[in-house]
Amino acid sequence: MARKPVVIVTRKLPDVVETRMRELFDARLNDSDRQLSRAELVDALRSCEILVPTITDRLDAGVLAEAGPNLKMIANYANGFDNIDITTALARGLMVTNTPGVLTGDTADATMALILAVPRRFIEGASVLKHGGFRGWSPTWMLGHRLAGKRLGIIGMGRIGEAVARRAKAFGLQIHYHNRKPVRAHVETELEATYWENLDSMLARMDIVSVNCPLTPATFQMLSARRLKLLKPTAIIVNTARGEIIDEECLATMLQDGRLAGAGLDVYEREPAIHPKLLKAKNVVLLPHMASATIEGRIEMGEKVIINIKSFVDGHRPPDRVIPAML
């Protein structure tokens, strides 16, 4: 029998995924689900042939420099890969994979939920009810804004952005988007979407802005203080991508000062820390990084990780390789 490769998994995964990993590999699991320290990550990289990290594991150049000679692959349990210094990993001859496409619908559903919840003040209303503030129906109480006819500007029209657009169109929103290049013509026609090459021009005209692009060096702080100030004071911003794409300090201040109407956030610049101003704001819906959190999605992610590892071990090209062109 061929020797099973040593695979270290940094966080607790669904039982069905871990069971299959134990069957196929010499899998070292993290039953406690405790996030590994930097020193523990280095030790893992020195001890395994394949590492299965998550977005909470920062594999920067310094950590990767400590990897042992037996490390051959990093099979990221995530759609994104901004937690890994890809340039350094590839330079060291490591195979890097991710789990794209699995969480598209789940994340788009959560994005749409935030697009609905913020202007309609659903969370605020639920909080009032729970705390005994409901005194009965009134024609002018808890008034929000309807979605139909509003302009939605999507930043990043990839799989998730397109899925958000399809859901939003069903609610009567007008679809606008900024991307590195226009989407396929038939998709743009079907969605009746308007492409904006210039992000600044789009931001100034939108009622709702949804951030759905990956975090890369090019998108880090893409919504800077300067760009946030282009938004209309009646605008709402939703982010289910990565917190580092937005200047969180400026966003929090603008919300506090009434220079933005509201925000729906699932991700934060310094997770798990949340900006104090955001926690105090009434016009903000905050979720604990759960947009992709479905049982089905997590299992599918694990299945993709297993396929990528098994393909690599068997001498084949993994289906979900991260390559320089993706950066």
SS3 at position 15? helix
155's tokens: 């930043």
Structural domains of the chain, count: 2
pLDDT of residue 121: 97
130 with 241, same domain: the answer is yes
pLDDT tens sequence for the chain (327 residues): 468 999 999 999 999 999 999 999 999 999 999 999 999 999 999 999 999 999 999 999 999 999 999 999 999 999 989 999 999 999 999 999 999 999 999 999 999 999 999 999 999 999 999 999 999 999 999 999 999 999 999 999 999 999 999 999 999 999 999 999 999 999 999 999 999 999 999 999 999 999 999 999 999 999 999 999 999 999 999 999 999 999 999 999 999 999 999 999 999 999 999 999 999 998 999 999 999 999 999 999 999 999 999 999 999 999 999 987 655
210 with 259, same domain: the answer is yes
263's tokens: 């925000």
Phi-psi region of 6 (alpha: psi -120 to 50; beta: other; left: phi over 0): beta
257 with 304, same domain: the answer is no
Q: Please indicate, yes or no, if residue 1 is contained in any of the structural domains.
A: no
Angle at 117 between CA 113 and CA 123, to 5 degrees: 120
141's tokens: 């109480």
259 with 316, same domain: the answer is no
- Each as own residue / partner, the long-range contacts of residues 69-73 (CB below 8 Å, 24 or more positions apart, any chain) are 70/6, 71/45, 71/46, 72/312, 73/49, 73/97, 73/309, 73/312
SS3 at position 135? coil
54 with 189, same domain: the answer is no
Q: Please indicate, yes or no, if residue 280 is contained in any of the structural domains.
A: yes
154 with 185, same domain: the answer is yes
140 with 207, same domain: the answer is yes
- Parent domain of 316: 6-102+294-326
117 with 13, same domain: the answer is no
- For the stretch 206-235, pLDDT in tens is 999 999 999 999 999 999 999 999 999 999
- For the stretch 170-190, pLDDT in tens is 999 999 999 999 999 999 999
CA torsion sign for 200, 206, 209, 212 is negative
114 with 260, same domain: the answer is yes
- For the stretch 126-144, pLDDT in tens is 999 999 999 999 999 999 9
C-alpha span between 286 and 194 (Å, rounded):
29
Q: Give the predicted TM-score (pTM) of the model.
A: 0.91
155 with 203, same domain: the answer is yes
62 with 44, same domain: the answer is yes
- CATH number, domain with residue 176: 3.40.50.720
- Would you please indicate which residues are annotated as catalytic (active-site) residues? 242, 271, 289
Q: Write the burial class of residue 182 (CB in 10 Å: 0-12 exposed, 13-18 middle, 19+ buried).
A: middle
